[in-house]
Amino acid sequence: GAGVSQSPSNKVTEKGKDVELRCDPISGHTALYWYRQSLGQGLEFLIYFQGNSAPDKSGLPSDRFSAERTGGSVSTLTIQRTQQEDSAVYLCASSSKRGGADTQYFGPGTRLTVL
Amino acid sequence: GNSVTQMEGPVTLSEEAFLTINCTYTATGYPSLFWYVQYPGEGLQLLLKATKADDKGSNKGFEATYRKETTSFHLEKGSVQVSDSAVYFCALGNSGNTPLVFGKGTRLSVIA
């Protein structure tokens, strides 16, 4: 079946511009996560959606970052007024709701470069 | 809070050598433990997992045992292949589909 997809795969932007990154989770998965992978920093949690509950935004690094999830499916991560330190690979993952920590399935990522 | 510490790389091995990548964790409650692998140019894939103490996860010749007494989940493989060259991430998750906490990753290079 189809896995998690993300678009675009690569995005180059100029400092100060806004960008939108898209994630299509696996159909039926109720939980959706955004992570950031920076060189030397490993994987850093950004934001998490679970069903219709309010998202957990505790990992967002600044108020320039926001995300929404429409209809419990597709999610968009928006970065406003991009800075060079925002350059990273942005990963999306999804999982199904069950008891215990279920496996998260990752998309291929969007590589963001801010010039 | 929860945290994961894994050995720093890079690790370079000859084909058929024995591999160990150490991973220790700090957590409240009873977390599940995971190893994810990222092959060159690809996304993260689940390699194996264990959900409770003394469980052993295994896949593709890799194994890891959930040791609560030493808070460890070391990854091992008896005989590595060139195709195992990748970055390996140890991760921890609590119940209820909460975000994973990852180690910084260990890059493995296997040479023929």
B54: phi then psi, degrees, rounded to nearest 5? 75, -5
Contacts of B33 (CB under 8 A, 6+ apart): B23, B25, B49, B50, B57, B64, B66, B73, B90, B91, B92, B93
Does A103 contact B96 at a Cβ distance shorter than 8 Å? no
Q: What is the pLDDT along chain B (112 residues), one digit of tens a residue?
A: 889 999 888 999 999 999 999 999 999 888 999 999 999 888 899 999 999 999 999 999 999 999 999 999 999 999 999 999 999 999 999 866 678 999 999 999 999 9
The answer to whether B51 contacts chain A (CB < 8 Å) is: yes
Q: Are strands B75-77 and B62-65 parallel, antiparallel or unpaired?
A: antiparallel
Which of B36, B94, B97 is closest, CB to CB, to A31? B97
Question: DSSP for B38-64?
Answer: E-TTS-EEEEEEE-STT-EEEETTEEE
The answer to whether B99 contacts chain A (CB < 8 Å) is: yes
Does B34 contact A103 at a Cβ distance shorter than 8 Å? yes
Which of B34, B96, B103 is closest, CB to CB, to A42? B103
Q: How far is A96 from chain B (nearest CA, A)?
A: 8
Tell me if A29 sits within 8 A of A96, measured CB to CB.
Answer: yes
- How do residues A57-96 score in pLDDT, each as one tens digit? 999 999 999 999 988 789 999 999 999 999 999 999 998 8
Q: Are strands A10-13 and A110-114 parallel, antiparallel or unpaired?
A: parallel
* B67 strand-pairing partners: B72
